[in-house]
Amino acid sequence: MANSRNDGSFLVNNSNTVANESSKTLEPAVLQGKEVIYPITLPIKVAGFNKPTLFDVISDICQEFEQVVTKDMMKQRTSSNGKYLSVTFDFEASSRERLNDFYRRLESHEMIKWTL
């Protein structure tokens, strides 16, 4: 059951994810009470086409946000049919706006299909 707020801020549910009421996007969260405290390091999961360049795409986008994430810092898993690759890595978010900007940037790339 989500805890709703009338000011458009995040909603928190029992699965430790946070949903922005206006965009309905989900983001992982570390919770202290019901508020997300920044700065925070969060695991980010990205799924895209299973191509070797996906790692470079993710790394380059991280560098745009002044984060160093190398291939050896990423956990990977290939889909059962081999078409997609999911990659998980840590991202340090200094604010909610910065985290949302990062998600939007990832999702804007043609190789990336979804993010968590």
Q: Specify the pTM.
A: 0.69
User: pLDDT at position 15, please?
Assistant: 41
User: pLDDT at position 33, please?
Assistant: 59
User: pLDDT at position 4, please?
Assistant: 38
User: pLDDT at position 108, please?
Assistant: 97
Per-residue pLDDT of the chain (116 residues; tens, 9 = 90+): 334 344 444 444 334 444 444 444 444 445 545 678 899 999 999 999 999 999 999 999 999 999 999 989 999 999 999 999 999 999 999 999 999 999 999 999 999 999 99
CATH fit for domain 38-115, picks 3.40.640.10, 2.170.120.12, 3.40.109.10, 3.30.70.260: 3.30.70.260
Give every strand in the sheet of 10-12, ordered side by side.
Answer: 10-12, 17-20, 26-28
Residue 104 neighbours by CB under 8 Å, 6+ apart: none
User: pLDDT at position 22, please?
Assistant: 43
User: pLDDT at position 16, please?
Assistant: 44
Task: Give me the residues paired with residue 12 across strands.
Answer: 3, 18
Domain boundaries, the chain: 1-36, 38-115
SS3 assignment, position 7: coil
